[in-house]
Amino acid sequence: MSDGFRETLAAWPSGVSVVTTNAEGQLYGLTVSSFSSLSFDPPLVLVCVANENRLPAMVDRSGGFAVSILERSQEQASRYFARAGRTPSEHFMEIAGRHTASGQPVIEGSLAWLTCRLRRAIPEGDHTILIGEVLETYAGEGQPLLYWRRAYRSIGTP
Protein backbone atom coordinates (compact mmCIF):
# COMPACT_ATOMS: atom_id res chain seq x y z
CA MET A 1 0.00 0.00 0.00
CA SER A 2 2.94 2.37 0.58
CA ASP A 3 3.63 3.08 -3.13
CA GLY A 4 -0.05 3.62 -3.92
CA PHE A 5 -0.48 5.81 -0.83
CA ARG A 6 2.53 7.95 -1.78
CA GLU A 7 1.33 8.27 -5.38
CA THR A 8 -2.12 9.34 -4.24
CA LEU A 9 -0.68 11.97 -1.87
CA ALA A 10 1.56 13.28 -4.69
CA ALA A 11 -1.64 14.35 -6.47
CA TRP A 12 -2.21 16.93 -3.71
CA PRO A 13 -0.35 20.17 -4.50
CA SER A 14 1.15 21.92 -1.50
CA GLY A 15 3.08 25.00 -0.64
CA VAL A 16 6.71 24.51 0.34
CA SER A 17 7.80 25.57 3.80
CA VAL A 18 10.86 25.17 5.97
CA VAL A 19 10.47 24.58 9.70
CA THR A 20 13.40 25.85 11.74
CA THR A 21 14.38 26.00 15.38
CA ASN A 22 17.08 27.44 17.60
CA ALA A 23 17.92 24.96 20.36
CA GLU A 24 20.56 26.41 22.67
CA GLY A 25 22.31 28.27 19.85
CA GLN A 26 22.17 25.34 17.42
CA LEU A 27 20.06 26.00 14.32
CA TYR A 28 18.35 23.32 12.32
CA GLY A 29 15.68 23.30 9.64
CA LEU A 30 13.68 20.88 7.53
CA THR A 31 11.62 21.26 4.34
CA VAL A 32 8.03 20.18 4.98
CA SER A 33 4.81 20.08 3.01
CA SER A 34 2.67 18.99 5.98
CA PHE A 35 2.00 22.46 7.41
CA SER A 36 -1.45 23.85 8.15
CA SER A 37 -3.38 26.37 10.17
CA LEU A 38 -5.22 24.74 13.06
CA SER A 39 -7.07 27.52 14.88
CA PHE A 40 -7.63 31.26 14.61
CA ASP A 41 -8.51 31.77 18.29
CA PRO A 42 -6.00 31.12 19.67
CA PRO A 43 -3.79 31.28 16.56
CA LEU A 44 -2.37 27.76 16.15
CA VAL A 45 -0.57 25.94 13.35
CA LEU A 46 0.58 22.36 12.96
CA VAL A 47 3.52 20.72 11.27
CA CYS A 48 4.11 16.99 10.78
CA VAL A 49 7.71 15.76 10.98
CA ALA A 50 9.15 12.23 10.69
CA ASN A 51 10.04 10.81 14.10
CA GLU A 52 13.52 9.79 12.95
CA ASN A 53 14.39 13.40 12.11
CA ARG A 54 16.20 15.40 14.81
CA LEU A 55 13.79 18.35 14.48
CA PRO A 56 11.06 17.17 16.92
CA ALA A 57 13.58 16.70 19.75
CA MET A 58 15.22 20.05 19.01
CA VAL A 59 11.86 21.85 18.96
CA ASP A 60 11.06 20.22 22.30
CA ARG A 61 14.36 21.52 23.74
CA SER A 62 13.95 25.01 22.31
CA GLY A 63 10.26 25.33 23.16
CA GLY A 64 9.43 26.79 19.77
CA PHE A 65 9.89 26.87 16.03
CA ALA A 66 9.44 29.04 12.94
CA VAL A 67 7.84 28.28 9.58
CA SER A 68 9.14 30.05 6.47
CA ILE A 69 6.79 29.85 3.48
CA LEU A 70 9.07 29.82 0.47
CA GLU A 71 8.84 32.17 -2.50
CA ARG A 72 8.93 30.61 -5.97
CA SER A 73 12.60 31.58 -6.46
CA GLN A 74 13.67 29.61 -3.35
CA GLU A 75 13.82 26.08 -4.72
CA GLN A 76 17.50 25.94 -3.69
CA ALA A 77 16.53 26.61 -0.06
CA SER A 78 13.93 23.84 -0.19
CA ARG A 79 16.45 21.37 -1.58
CA TYR A 80 19.07 22.36 1.01
CA PHE A 81 16.75 21.78 3.96
CA ALA A 82 15.42 18.54 2.42
CA ARG A 83 18.93 17.08 2.17
CA ALA A 84 19.64 14.22 4.59
CA GLY A 85 22.75 14.15 6.74
CA ARG A 86 22.86 17.80 7.72
CA THR A 87 23.72 18.56 11.34
CA PRO A 88 22.73 21.48 13.57
CA SER A 89 25.10 24.45 13.46
CA GLU A 90 25.39 28.03 14.67
CA HIS A 91 24.43 29.33 11.18
CA PHE A 92 22.71 27.95 8.10
CA MET A 93 25.66 27.16 5.86
CA GLU A 94 24.32 27.67 2.32
CA ILE A 95 21.10 29.62 2.81
CA ALA A 96 20.68 33.16 4.14
CA GLY A 97 18.64 33.43 7.30
CA ARG A 98 18.00 35.78 10.16
CA HIS A 99 16.67 35.66 13.71
CA THR A 100 13.27 37.09 14.60
CA ALA A 101 12.51 38.99 17.82
CA SER A 102 11.57 35.67 19.47
CA GLY A 103 15.02 34.24 18.61
CA GLN A 104 13.82 31.73 16.02
CA PRO A 105 15.58 31.59 12.63
CA VAL A 106 13.69 32.25 9.40
CA ILE A 107 14.77 32.00 5.76
CA GLU A 108 15.73 35.36 4.28
CA GLY A 109 13.52 36.34 1.32
CA SER A 110 10.64 34.05 2.30
CA LEU A 111 7.21 34.92 1.00
CA ALA A 112 5.92 34.77 4.59
CA TRP A 113 6.95 33.42 7.98
CA LEU A 114 5.66 32.90 11.47
CA THR A 115 7.17 31.95 14.80
CA CYS A 116 5.56 29.72 17.37
CA ARG A 117 5.75 28.62 20.97
CA LEU A 118 5.42 24.83 21.12
CA ARG A 119 2.03 23.94 22.61
CA ARG A 120 2.17 20.20 22.10
CA ALA A 121 4.08 17.45 20.32
CA ILE A 122 1.96 14.42 19.52
CA PRO A 123 3.67 11.25 18.22
CA GLU A 124 1.40 9.41 15.80
CA GLY A 125 2.53 6.63 13.49
CA ASP A 126 5.97 7.41 12.08
CA HIS A 127 5.54 11.19 12.49
CA THR A 128 5.18 13.76 15.26
CA ILE A 129 2.57 16.50 15.02
CA LEU A 130 4.02 19.77 16.34
CA ILE A 131 1.34 22.24 17.40
CA GLY A 132 2.53 25.81 17.78
CA GLU A 133 0.94 28.96 19.15
CA VAL A 134 1.75 31.78 16.73
CA LEU A 135 3.77 34.63 18.27
CA GLU A 136 4.99 36.66 15.27
CA THR A 137 3.98 36.85 11.61
CA TYR A 138 5.22 38.40 8.39
CA ALA A 139 3.64 38.30 4.92
CA GLY A 140 5.38 39.80 1.88
CA GLU A 141 4.62 40.07 -1.80
CA GLY A 142 5.38 37.48 -4.45
CA GLN A 143 4.41 34.01 -5.62
CA PRO A 144 4.69 30.81 -3.58
CA LEU A 145 6.87 27.84 -4.38
CA LEU A 146 4.64 24.79 -4.90
CA TYR A 147 5.27 21.04 -4.95
CA TRP A 148 3.09 18.69 -7.00
CA ARG A 149 3.69 15.21 -8.42
CA ARG A 150 7.24 15.18 -7.00
CA ALA A 151 8.31 18.38 -8.77
CA TYR A 152 8.56 22.06 -7.92
CA ARG A 153 5.99 24.30 -9.58
CA SER A 154 4.78 27.88 -9.45
CA ILE A 155 1.55 29.70 -10.09
CA GLY A 156 1.18 31.28 -13.53
CA THR A 157 1.05 35.03 -13.96
CA PRO A 158 -1.97 36.46 -12.12
pLDDT in tens, 126-147: 999 999 999 999 999 999 999 8
Q: What is the mean pLDDT of residues 83-108?
A: 88
108: CB partners within 8 A, 6+ apart: 95, 96, 97, 98
Quick check: 1 pLDDT over 60? no
Q: Please, which pLDDT band fits residue 11 given cuts at 50, 70 and 90?
A: low
Higher-confidence residue of 148 and 129: namely 129
pLDDT at residue 47 in the model: 97
Lowest model confidence (mean pLDDT) among 36-40, 86-90, 113-117: 86-90
**What is the per-residue pLDDT for 112?**
97
pLDDT interval class at 104 (50, 70, 90): very high
pLDDT at res. 69? 97
Tell me the domains of the chain and their CATH numbers. 2-100+109-150 (2.30.110.10)
Is pLDDT above 90 for 80? yes
Q: Do 105 and 99 touch, CB atoms closer than 8 A?
A: yes
CA distances from residue 38 to 50, 53, 77, 87, 127 in whole angstroms, order as listed: 19, 23, 25, 30, 17
How confident is the model at residue 5, as a pLDDT? 79
Q: For all residues of the chain together, what is the average pLDDT? A: 91
Assess whether pLDDT exceeds 70 at residue 148: yes
